[in-house]
Structure formats: C-alpha cells, structure tokens
C-alpha cells in the first residue's frame, strides 16, 4: 500500500470514527404544539385509546430526525406516545418505577450499569412497547394482544465515568440486552424526567 493510499485510508477511517462517536450523543429539542397541527392519524390513535385526561402535544427534534409526541396520564401512570411526522405510531412508553421490572431482568440491567459506570443512579424508567398500531392500542387498553410486539426498557441514568458525571439514555430489551446508549447533550432534564 502506497503512502498516499495509507493517508487516504487513515483519513476515511478518522471521519468514520468521528461520525460514529458523534452518533453516541443524544441531542433533543422538544416544544409544545397545538392540536390543530397534529396529523389526523395521530389524533385518531389517541381517540382509540382509553385516555380521558388532557393530552399535551410536542414536536421533537433529535439526532434521529423529527417526531411528534403525545403526553398524558391514564390510571395514574404517565404515558408518552411517539409518532412520526405523518402520524404513524412509533412506540408507547409508560413511566414505571425501576423496581417494578422483573427481579432477574432488573439484576441483569443493574449488572450492566455497574460494568459501564463507577457510580450510577437510575433517574427515570419507562416501559416501551414497539409494534403495530393495533397491538399498541391493545396494550394500552390492557386487552388481549394478537400480534407480535417488543418490550424494551428505556432508562435515564446519571452515571459516573472516570471523574465525570453525565446523563445517559440507555435502552434494554426484555432479555437484558443493551440496544442503545446515548450520552445526553444540552438536554432540558426536566423534560427528560417527566
């Protein structure tokens, strides 16, 4: 390999590594929007659910693009339903206590956190359902689900690495496998912890 080819290869590798490192950060901007600009299919989804409290609508911009989010409370539990910009549901998240995760899975997740951080504290836990529109409606309504769906757990963790504390969003599946870990950059922590 010639010297010039080596330099080109090193340059390309550096760009790839830099972009991979950048993808490990979570940038999020969230702001309230009026119901009048929410896509009809998202409004219909919420109408098909059991929600009887006020629904707050948000637009969200992040490293993954734009989305729309509905936040509400049902049976004293906080729900967050994310839609794409066309109103198709992406996932449903229900805020839960970390201690409500089944014990074996919770221990597995805690062991994972202990291997990543020298100190950590789970600040927020959400049970996340990903599936078809009808599966998500059935899960919210607590009726029989006839289609496949995935269950994940999204954690907001305050973690210490070396000497620095930072907030992280970490996603685990229901087998305890870590699916995603993003360092939260310039976040409004109040919105994240809602």
For residue range 28-73, what is the model confidence (pLDDT) as tens digits? 789 999 999 999 999 999 998 888 889 999 999 887 789 999 999 9
Residues 174-180 have a mean pLDDT of 97
The pLDDT assigned to 66 comes to: 94
Instruction: Count how many Cα atoms sit within 13 Å of the Cα of residue 157 in the half-sphere of its side chain.
Output: 27
Judged against a pLDDT cut of 60, whether residue 153 lies above it is answered with yes
Q: What is the pLDDT of residues 72-118, one digit of tens each?
A: 999 899 999 999 999 999 999 999 999 999 999 999 999 999 999 99
Residues 6+ apart with CB under 8 A from 7: none
Judged against a pLDDT cut of 50, whether residue 25 lies above it is answered with yes
175 vs 4: which has the higher pLDDT = 175
Residues 155-170 have a mean pLDDT of 94
The pLDDT assigned to 59 comes to: 96
Of 3.10.450, 3.30.310, 3.90.1070, 1.10.1740, the CATH number of 25-193 is: 3.10.450
pTM: 0.82
Q: Please, which contacts does 42-47 make with residues 24 or more away whose CB atoms are closer than 8 Å?
A: 42/68, 42/70, 42/83, 42/87, 42/89, 43/87, 44/87, 45/81, 45/83, 45/87, 45/89, 45/133, 45/136, 45/137, 46/70, 46/72, 46/81
Judged against a pLDDT cut of 70, whether residue 173 lies above it is answered with yes
Judged against a pLDDT cut of 80, whether residue 122 lies above it is answered with yes
Grade residue 154 by pLDDT with cuts at 50, 70 and 90: very high
DSSP state of 163: T
Residue ranges per structural domain of the chain: 25-193
Residue whose token pair is 């509400």: 72
């Amino acid at each position: 390999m010639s010297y010039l080819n080596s330099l080109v290869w090193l340059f390309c590798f550096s760009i790839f590594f830099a972009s991979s490192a950048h993808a490990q950060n979570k940038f999020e901007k969230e702001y309230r929007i009026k119901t009048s600009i929410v896509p009809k299919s998202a409004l219909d989804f919420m109408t098909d659910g059991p929600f009887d409290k006020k629904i707050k609508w948000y637009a969200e911009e992040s490293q993954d693009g734009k989305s729309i989010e509905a936040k509400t409370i049902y049976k004293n539990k906080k729900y967050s339903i994310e839609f794409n910009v066309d109103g198709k549901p992406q996932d449903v998240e229900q805020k839960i206590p970390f201690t409500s995760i089944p014990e074996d899975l919770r221990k597995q997740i805690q062991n994972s956190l202990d291997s990543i951080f020298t100190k950590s504290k789970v600040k927020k836990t959400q049970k996340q359902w990903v599936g078809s529109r009808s599966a998500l409606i059935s899960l919210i309504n607590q009726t029989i689900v006839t289609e496949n769906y995935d269950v994940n757990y999204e954690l907001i963790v305050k973690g210490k690495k070396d000497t620095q504390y930072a907030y992280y969003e970490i996603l685990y599946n229901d087998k305890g496998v870590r699916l995603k870990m993003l360092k939260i950059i310039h976040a409004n922590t109040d919105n994240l912890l809602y």
